[in-house]
Structure 1
Amino acid sequence: MRTPGIFVNVLAAVAVLTSVAGCVPVDPGSTGSSATPRTSESSASATESTRLLDQLAIARSGSMSGYSREHFPHWRKAGKNCDVRDTVLQRDGTGVELSGCNVVGGRWHSVYDNKTLTDPADLDIDHMVPLANAWRSGADDWDDKKRGDFANDLTRPQLFAVSLNSNRAKGDQDPSLWKPSNRDFWCEYAQDWIAVKHYWKLTVTSAEKDALADMLETC
């Protein structure tokens, strides 16, 4: 599972998008918690997130005309017989079991709903900023290569394993319309959403910005 604040430093170093060269090794000592401690460090990162949020362009949600998930090609290959989905499952799980480099077992904590899961089939790899939301906020002007980079972005806090049910409930909604039921994750959720949108220069709606600002108040 993700250690709280694991992506905080990405806000200061979002210049390089790395391609996936192989499956990410599992840290056998990986633990973590669903809650983000209210420390001076998290307060400082919330301040930085607020600064980045203020830099995001505000615009009305764009049209879905022409949208297709096929315009965001994923999952990319990431070594023999595995892909980015396997990479995220291996990265975010503990006690991960492999067949080749395909993930077939392990233990995962879904930060959206605070559930523990042991079957990879019960997990989705969530795009923090959903593909359709990205399309409505600027990605419709990109080519498919750039949209593929976005859909497979392992550098920003864009991809992580969550319960299938929570991911389906989220759909393509922004934080003004959907928030994780696990309120302890709201701070990091807002920070991650802002980090992704800032790096990819995507817009936010007024309601979305207000919701993100409110969520940062929980940091």
Structure 2
Amino acid sequence: MSCLRKNIGQGIRLAISSILVLSLLTVGTPASANPATGSIPVGQSATQVLGTLTVGVKSNASSDRKSHQWNKVVGKTGNYTTRDLVLERDMDNVTYTSRGNVNTGILLEPYTGKTIHFQRGQSNKTEGGSASNRDGGIQIDHVVAYAEAYRSGLDKLDFAQRDAYYNDPDVLLASQAEANNVKKDGTIAEWEPSNQTFQCDYASLQIGIKAKYGLMVDQKEHDKLAQVLASCPAETIISTSQVKQRLTGGTSGSNTTGNSDDNTNGSNNQSNQPNGSTSGKNNSHTTNKHHITSTKKNWVKNLFNGLLKRFF
């Protein structure tokens, strides 16, 4: 009997190994290894790119937003995640914790035009933070909100591609927590920045992101985007990496270079970032490859752990 139990146990382990190998061979390379997405069309006319977007009726599907989290950034030590990458890119005077997280910095906030003095782990209620959320008064906003993107066509991509969207710096912007909480998952027809000088750039960012991921707009959203751009017909598509320079002296409607790597320290120098400074070029393909690698590792780990729990 003990010999029989031993043989059964060995058989189960062999079956698990076989299933794992077959899984890796058949679906181990997610579709996102060759993303069905392009890049931000930086420098192109925002009005012309808007004309290429599909106008349609969005789905009412509930998104899987809670299934995603900030990924650790490949090539960084400690706990440095996508959130830290965006904070470092968008802020000045950045310092770090001993574990690699962004600890302090100063943000010229795009949605309100206010200055936020970020301190990791503080609520910063006086500068737009929430007393119940110790995020330093800054949240990382998906410029095209994840749930809204999901209803606009992101739901047709696989999980790894959606995770790449969730962690894509091209989609993300450091913003005041209060403003982001009011925005929620609204389109530009439902919410736009109170900072009047940023509204054209905000429309440009939304159009560029939707173009990159092949997302649709509904009629109200399209009309609002067109209305905003009518006040700045020379507006060109920008990326989120160019926002800081726009706010500190760049010219709206022109193609500017990305932010420099001032105020960095040690191993966290921004020039080593997967999505560092740009000069009219887009590094999103490289960034996506990093996030796809991270997602694939997590996928294999979750598959193996799930099989162990099921059989043992």
Q: Same fold (TM over 0.5)?
A: yes
d(CA) in 2 for partners of 1:92 and 1:218? 26
Q: Pairwise mapping of residues 101-120 of structure 1 onto structure 2 (< 5 A)?
A: 101-120=100-119
Residue in 1 that maps onto 2:88: 90
Q: 1:59 aligns with which of 56, 59, 71?
A: 56
Identity of aligned residues (%): 33
Secondary structure at 2:224 match in 1: helix
Q: 1:164 aligns with which of 167, 173, 177?
A: 177
Structure index of larger Rg: 2
Q: 1:177 aligns with which of 175, 185, 190?
A: 190
Tell me which stretches of 4 or more aligned residues in structure 1 moved more than 6 Å.
none
Residue in 1 that maps onto 2:72: 77
Q: 2:45 aligns with which of 44, 48, 58?
A: 48
- Cα distance, 1:119 vs. partner? 2.1
Secondary structure at 2:45 match in 1: helix
Task: Provide structure 2 residue ranges, at least 5 long, that are not aligned to the other structure.
Answer: 1-38, 120-135, 233-312
Whether the aligned pair in 1 keeps the contact of 2:40 and 2:212 (CA below 8 Å) is no
- Cα distance, 1:216 vs. partner? 1.1
Q: 1:191 aligns with which of 200, 204, 207?
A: 204
The one-letter code matched in structure 2 to 1:111 is P
Which one has a larger percent helix, Structure 1 or Structure 2?
2
d(CA) in 2 for partners of 1:145 and 1:203? 20
- Cα distance, 1:74 vs. partner? 2.8
Which one has a larger percent strand, Structure 1 or Structure 2?
1
d(CA) in 2 for partners of 1:131 and 1:118? 27
The one-letter code matched in structure 1 to 2:41 is L
Whether the aligned pair in 2 keeps the contact of 1:59 and 1:204 (CA below 8 Å) is yes
1:130 aligns with 2:128: no
Residue in 2 that maps onto 1:151: 166
The one-letter code matched in structure 2 to 1:203 is M
CA RMSD of aligned residues (A): 1.6
Whether the aligned pair in 1 keeps the contact of 2:192 and 2:199 (CA below 8 Å) is yes
Q: Which has the higher contact order (CA 8 A, sep 6+)?
A: 1
TM, length-normalised to structure 1: 0.75
Task: Provide structure 1 residue ranges, at least 5 long, that are not aligned to the other structure.
Answer: 1-8, 13-44
Secondary structure at 1:132 match in 2: helix
TM, length-normalised to structure 2: 0.53
Q: Pairwise mapping of residues 30-41 of structure 1 onto structure 2 (< 5 A)?
A: none
Aligned length: 174
The one-letter code matched in structure 2 to 1:11 is P
